[in-house]
Amino acid sequence: MFNTNFLFASLIWGSVGVGYFIYGKKQGSWIPLTGGILMIVVSYFVGSALLMSVISIGIIVTVHALLKKGY
């Protein structure tokens, strides 16, 4: 479970999640805040680097699409 790819993916997606969380908190927007929390949770509980990356990219696309729609 703790191979190099998993640790690197967890570090990257967890860091992006923290960035989304901080951005959402400072802007007062619940969409990036929730997306950041979800990305942090995914980086802790998903055991595959590929699956973690796919889910995290899906969260990023969803947050971007919702913000573009004006939510």
For the entire predicted model, the pTM comes to 0.89
Q: Range with the lowest mean pLDDT among 11-15, 44-48, 58-62?
A: 44-48
**pLDDT higher than 90, residue 55:** yes
| Bigger pLDDT: 34 vs 70 | 34
Q: What is the DSSP-derived secondary structure letter of residue 28?
A: T
Give the max Cα distance, the chain: 40
**pLDDT higher than 70, residue 1:** no
Give the residue extent of every domain in the chain. 4-69
Q: What is the mean pLDDT of residues 22-49?
A: 94
pLDDT band of 2, cuts 50, 70, 90: confident
* DSSP reduced 3-state for 71: coil
Percent of the chain with pLDDT over 90: 87
